Amino acid sequence: MFDPPVLNQTKGSTFTVNVMVTGGQNVSVVPVQLSYDPNQLQVLNVSNGGFLSQDGQSVALSFRDDPASGTLQITASRPQGSGSVSGQGAVVTLTMMAKAPGQSVLVITRGGARDPNMQPIPMNGAEAAVTIQ
């Protein structure tokens, strides 16, 4: 899910939104694909949200943004052999800029998680509504 799920921004402002996991069990890797309207939103940065590093482990974070299509692919992973974490928290924090007035949405188009054996853990998608003035 996104936290916050509803954002009100002014054109030109920078804001953050967390991509959250709730009720995660035995999570080691979180690959996520997001879509956004590149005419209204710009991705500035993706940073570790703390969920995967809650026990002090480092987190490898990679992301690829395609501003032409408005697709952001993110993978956050714990080191191999470091076990897993459970619970809830922010996997990553997105820093974005509001580019143009209107209504926009951030959508998790492909979400999921993997356990230490790389077995898939089903996760639900989510969306956040962004109003830009």
CATH of the domain at 42: 2.60.40.680
What six digits make up the tokens of 4? 């916050």
* Number of separate domains in the chain: 1
Q: How many CB atoms lie within 10 A of CB 131?
A: 15
pLDDT-derived band at 11, boundaries 50, 70, 90: very high
Q: Which domain holds residue 92?
A: 2-132
For residue 92, what are the CA distances in angstroms to 62, 101, 125?
Answer: 11, 26, 15
User: Can you tell me the distance from the alpha carbon of 22 to that of 124, in angstroms, rounded to the nearest whole number?
Assistant: 10
Give me the chain's average pLDDT, please: 95
Q: Report the greatest alpha carbon distance in the chain.
A: 47
pLDDT in tens, 37-56: 999 999 999 999 999 999 99
**What's the whole-model pTM score?**
0.94
Phi, psi of 117 (to 5 degrees): -90, 10
CA distance 114 to 30: 6
Is the pLDDT at 122 greater than 90? The verdict is no
The CA distance from 24 to 78, in Å, is 14
Provide the CB-side half-sphere exposure for 21 (13 A, CA): 30
What pLDDT, on a 0 to 100 scale, did the predictor assign at position 125? 85
* Residue 67 pLDDT class (50, 70, 90 cuts): very high
Rounded Cα gap, residues 100 and 9, in angstroms: 10
DSSP β-ladder status, 71-77 and 85-98: unpaired
